[in-house]
Structure 1
Amino acid sequence: MSEQELYQRIGQLLLDAGPSEARKIVVRARLFAEGDGGSYEFDYFDKVNHSSWFDPDSRAVGDLTELLVELRGFYVENGLCHNGKAWSSCAVTLDVKEMKISIDYNYDD
């Protein structure tokens, strides 16, 4: 799967799993090194920019884990890692109104 396809699938998953009143969804994820899970924080902002957290169902979390592990693998396979090291955590932001997704990657030292 291409990087763009992975981004699209992650965005659609968050759109489907997030609250209907969400205008922006922010997910902070830290993947386990083994790629079999991770820790997550799910937040959203509504139309008046109030923030709150939400708890998606376990299937959505499992699917998100698979997509993020695949995305990390894509980065490793294509030499897109910082100093040759794969990212360990990321912050995914989905602007629901604009239908734009961005991902900021973090690397352990």
Structure 2
Amino acid sequence: MMQDKNFEQKIGQILYECGPGNAKKIIARAKIFNENDGGEYEFDYLDENGELGWFSPDGRAVADLTDALLAYKSFFLDNNLTNGKPVWTGCEITVDIQAGKININLQYDD
């Protein structure tokens, strides 16, 4: 299961690097297209005062994030981590910069 953590670190790193300098927490919502050729994203952050704001990363960061999420999705399929169910289609990623933690909440189509 070591690889699992590597994906999370990579995803967290991409978000950390493209996020605003004053962000204490980054929250990204991703919905991967069925064709696996991209996704829809929403990027929010909390600043040092706990104020919520949004940001728009550059195209490079979005492309890297898409690649990382598609690889993560393939990892689930290749390692039979879906328990026979359809693979997840989206996720909410929270990067807690102060705590150095990342949490990926996977979402499934009903």
TM range (shorter): over 0.9
Tell me the distance in 2 between the aligned counterparts of 1:82 and 1:62. 29
Alignment of 1:24-103 (within 5 A): 24-81=25-82, 83-103=84-104
AA aligned to 1:98 is A
Structure 2 residue matching 1:92: 3-state secondary structure = strand
Runs of 4+ in 1 over 2 A off after TM superposition: none
Aligned to 1:4: 5
TM (norm. structure 1) is 0.95
Tell me the distance in 2 between the aligned counterparts of 1:82 and 1:93. 25
Tell me the distance in 1 between the aligned counterparts of 2:27 and 2:83. 23
Q: Show CA shifts across 1:23-47 (max 9, x none).
A: 0000000001111100000000011
Q: Percent identity?
A: 44
Structure 2 residue matching 1:2: 3-state secondary structure = helix
Superposition RMSD in Å: 1.3
What is the deviation of 1:84?
2.0
Tell me the distance in 1 between the aligned counterparts of 2:7 and 2:89. 17
Tell me the distance in 1 between the aligned counterparts of 2:24 and 2:84. 35
Tell me the distance in 1 between the aligned counterparts of 2:83 and 2:30. 18
TM (norm. structure 2) is 0.94
Tell me the distance in 1 between the aligned counterparts of 2:58 and 2:31. 18
**Total equivalences in the alignment:** 109
Tell me the distance in 1 between the aligned counterparts of 2:21 and 2:83. 36
Q: What are the ranges of 5 or more consecutive residues in structure 2 without an aligned counterpart?
A: none
Are 2:12 and 1:14 equivalent residues in the alignment? Answer: no
Tell me the distance in 2 between the aligned counterparts of 1:82 and 1:50. 39
